[in-house]
Chain A
Amino acid sequence: MEGDQGRRGESAPGGADKWYELFSRGARDWLRHDEKVREAVRANLPEIIAGGEVINDSARTVRVPVRMLEHYHFRLRRPEESQGAGQGNAKPGDVLSDPARERGPGEKGAGGRDEGEVQLLLEFKVDDIVDWLWEEMQLPNLKARVGPSEETEWTREGWDRRGARSRLDRRRSFKEMVKRRGAPGATPTFTDEDLRFRQLARRRQPAVHAVVFFMLDVSGSMSDRDRKLAKTFFFWVVQGLRRQYRSMETLFVAHTTEAWEFNEPDFFQVTGTGGTVASTGLLKVREIIDARFNPARSNIYLFYASDGDNSVSDAAEARAALASVAADTCFTGYVEVSSGLSRQLATETGKLFAELSGAGCAAGSYALNDFDDVWGAVRHFFTAESNAPDGPGGGPRTDSP
């Protein structure tokens, strides 16, 4: 290798430095490409993520498949049939590749001019995505209802001459040393006297606690796609609320003409048959609140997804149950998932919620017809919620820390 270097010096006079051994332009330009892909993904995040496919129940990351960017040039339209020249053992009339008969090796040659496509799989953290989205969509931070002191937390408080090494406050210790030291210019030396350690103390803090009910209509009229729409919406609502509340409890209620409470995995798998009686679900929520929560101390949210076809005979009961639940919640949201037909909330259930928000309660409705709408829905609810008037229930509302 040594001799090699010497000879190279000869071959390129003028002391050519071998910059190309230290620096790869290809890699530099590739990194720029990567950055552009990430920017593009970020700019289109709502659409990409609303696609539903990318969401994993448990995963804290979302995987987004992306293609390599193309630098565009003027090109001719792809012809129905193109001609080319080849070489080899072939007679006129030979069919070299026929998609009808074979799949696989012939594919790459098809058309003869396709570059093998490379797909990248980019992974994003859900937390990052939510941060970007909040930034991008300028969603407001929610107002949280602060309950009485419930949580305790360790906070820093003062210094002491003894403590664990890990809590040594170097700056403070140094100051002590300087204070003690007599003459300027002397070699700094520490003694045990100088060391200062940070102390912790327990503090009681007002609790910020959220309870979120997800109620889903699983009656026969709700299609798979409807449920998937609802699920995607619920997923991002949870992400949004989780930003706000350190402790959050999620509860899942499904109903047809009856209502049941589910755990999360089961909840989205449930299918039911039969009619829709919304009051059963609402009463179930009422029951759970009464049994397990104190509305004055918790921030209760209810999100209800349905196709809106509530049984007409249920109207009065549903209205009463809804009013009762809404009295204790910070916000009640209704998404109407009716893929295919867009009825713009002109349904039984839609009317109930319209009445509710007309009466000045913190409530909102949104018609969700397509995956592209999921972000519209999230934006709608979160903007509405932060502007909602102070609901009933005890405890002052403050902006969360």
Chain B
Amino acid sequence: MSDDWRSYIQRIEQLAARSGLVFNPVDFEAVPDSFMMEIAIYGLPVRMPHWSFGVRYIYQLIQRRMGHSRLFEVVFPGNPGHAYLAESNGLAENILVTAHVLGHADFSRNNLLFRRCQQQVSERIVEHAASHARQIQQNIETHGAQRVEAVLDAALALEQHIDVDQDLRRERYPPYLADPQTLVDDTFRKRFAALEPAARSASMERKRAPVPPHPERDLLWFVANYAPEMESWERDIFLAVREESFYFYPVFATQIMNEGWASYWHARLLREADFVPQQSYLDAIKCHSDVVRPIAAEQQVSLSVNPYHLGFAMWESIVERDGLEAARRIMEQDDDFAFVRNHLTRELADELGLFRFSARSDGQIKVLEHDVTALHEAVLGPKYNFGAPVVSAAHIRNDGTLELTHDSSVDGRGLDLERSRKVLDYLHKVWRRPIVLTTVNQAGSALELTAP
């Protein structure tokens, strides 16, 4: 590959800064396509080994053989950020990709969700993930591949079950119930206590808090902290997976905004970059329209929404309507839920040809009535709760049995029983006491799954 694009990096960076983008420095590295593919599969340049990545690898390999997907870049936020560019990119593609990467860098530095998660994880997730991988390699040498794999089976199966509203380094629950007096100290309580001294003295006794005190959605943390018979290296693996999930969450929850923002900026910077030769500019514009096109060339209709296209179109209309200042404020404050619900207007949806469809289990797919609120939810549906059902830890029984509950009222239906059973089997290997999971069956009545 030609390295001519490197001479443009600095100029594009200066142009971006002049246009109001604020970003951490980014290290650019050109890597072979095979490595690009692995970064995309693992989500991080160096990550722990697990056979499930091998499955994704084969799917990717097949897709690539069939020419379905092509990766131009992968970027990791941080200070400095890391951007990996495919060696097979041409000059024009790399100019475009450089601008795109700076859009991401601006986004990840200024978006609140990203900032919060980066404060938690630190700005060096790439290095952290590599050190997790190294640690796990050492565990394999000490404890054997089988045991480590069993732990990873369980931890990675629960990777979406974190609670980003909690701290990454989270304290254990307080062991005793808080004294009720300290909770509410109003006149009524004082008078009540004065009336009946006996009641007051009884409440002086400290009560052990139940574990968990409330249904706990942060399953990785909960298991790592409260599993009755886990070894410390096993707990560390759970916490390592949790840390990586904390990093993945904002990427997942702002995908439409983030990709749209980067696409908006690569298009705009390219327009303003008068130093780019004419031919490269044309090539880059063509590449841009390939990236943000809504539908594959040979198709009339697509049953999914291209986040690049949707985000790009939304940012364009926001900037046009409210100006760049407002757009930057939205970029800083929203995630995809707020972004789509507030800014995907009926007019824009019509213009983009977005529609809702229903798919029956027999394969019939039908386009539904226009309804922009329902359309928002159809776009966002796969993103609720990190894309996972709401399962929380409810109780630990005296014999160490873990009770999990699935909140079907939130999810609207019960769990896939076969898969859930397998997850319980994974988890049982590290919890080492029985596990009970309640969900609902097809008819909506309660159902209990157990392992073993």
Contacts and interface: CB of A to CB of B under 8 A. Distances in A.
Interface in A1-40: 4, 7-8, 11-12, 20-21, 24-34, 36
A110 interface: yes
A77 interface: yes
A27 B34 CA distance: 11
A72 B423 CA distance: 6
A75 B367 CA distance: 25
A71 B51 contact: yes
A28 B413 CA distance: 38
Interface string A87-114: 1111111111111100000110111100
B55 interface: yes
Interface in B27-51: 27-32, 34-35, 37-38, 41-42, 47, 49-51
Contact of A33 (B6, B54, B157): B54
B24 interface: no
A29 B133 CA distance: 13
Contact of B57 (A27, A88, A93, A97): A27
B55 A33 contact: yes
A29 B416 contact: no
A84 interface: yes
Contacts of A92: 355, 367-370
A96 B301 contact: yes
Contacts of A83: 356-359, 368, 374, 378, 381
B306 interface: yes
Contacts of B366: 93-96
Given A75-B415, A96-B365, A98-B364, A26 B37 contact: yes
Given A26-B53, A96-B365, A97-B365, A12 B29 contact: yes
A57 interface: no
B301 A86 contact: yes
Residue from A70, A78, A87 having most chain B Cβ neighbours under 10 A: A87
A290 interface: no
Nearest to B418: A72
Contacts of B406: 74
B378 A85 contact: yes
A78 B41 CA distance: 26
Contacts of A74: 157, 161, 388-389, 391, 406, 415-416, 419-420, 423
B305 interface: yes
B409 interface: no
A11 B9 CA distance: 13
Contact of B30 (A11, A86, A112): A11
A76 interface: yes
Contacts of A90: 300-301, 353, 355, 357, 367
A69 interface: yes
Interface string B291-303: 0001100011111
Contacts of A26: 37-38, 41, 53-54, 57, 60-61
Nearest to B63: A116
Contacts of A69: 51, 55
A73 B58 contact: no
B375 interface: yes
Interface of B: 1, 3, 6, 27-32, 34-35, 37-38, 41-42, 47, 49-55, 57-62, 149, 153, 156-158, 160-161, 294-295, 299-306, 309-310, 352-370, 374-375, 378-379, 381, 388-389, 391, 406, 411-417, 419-420, 422-423, 426, 442
Interface of A: 4, 7-8, 11-12, 20-21, 24-34, 36, 68-100, 106-107, 109-112, 115-116, 118
